[in-house]
């Protein structure tokens, strides 16, 4: 059985791209999680875990014999950590400003303010 060097390189690149995409998705959901009530924030975290888990599963099924090796997992984790510690400080202000504009445009601030006021009135 021959091992294709190009197939291994493609798998490593896919795992690295998945790690980078995981970091970007984490930061895209971050401003939303900070503004939501705790239960909905927990739901956002669950959605993040499900999306990343599904993407990891899809990557594993597309790679050789349906398994992720240690090298691929390390490549994905390394890219995630590189994003979190290197690229994130540049991207986070852009994501926060965009989330603020979307939040105000969709009037979510009023919706969640009304929900929290109703809870206080019922208590």
Distance from CA of residue 82 to its chain's centroid? 14
The pLDDT averaged over each successive group of 10 residues in the chain (123 residues) is 75 90 86 81 89 87 71 88 89 81 72 60 61
The confidence score (pLDDT) of residue 4 equals: 76
Cα(98)–Cα(118) distance, rounded to whole angstroms?
A: 29
- H or E element, residue 111: helix 108-122
Q: Tokens 């390390």 appear where?
A: 74
The confidence score (pLDDT) of residue 104 equals: 75
The confidence score (pLDDT) of residue 16 equals: 92
The confidence score (pLDDT) of residue 91 equals: 84
3-state secondary structure of 14: helix
Domain boundaries, the chain: 8-96
The confidence score (pLDDT) of residue 20 equals: 92
Beta-carbon contacts of 28 under 8 Å, excluding residues fewer than 6 positions away, are: 95, 99
The confidence score (pLDDT) of residue 79 equals: 93
The confidence score (pLDDT) of residue 67 equals: 65
């Amino acid at each position: 059985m021959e091992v294709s060097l190009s197939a291994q390189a493609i798998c490593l690149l896919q795992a690295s791209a998945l790690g980078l995409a995981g970091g970007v998705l984490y930061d895209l959901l971050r401003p939303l999680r900070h503004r939501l009530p705790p239960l909905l924030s927990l739901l956002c975290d669950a959605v993040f875990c499900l999306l990343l888990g599904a993407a990891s599963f899809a990557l594993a099924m597309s790679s050789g014999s349906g398994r992720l090796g240690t090298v691929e997992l390390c490549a994905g984790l390394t890219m995630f950590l590189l994003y979190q510690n290197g690229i994130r400080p540049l991207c986070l202000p852009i994501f926060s400003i965009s989330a603020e504009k979307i939040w105000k445009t969709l009037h979510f601030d009023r919706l969640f303010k009304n929900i929290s006021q109703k809870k206080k009135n019922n208590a």
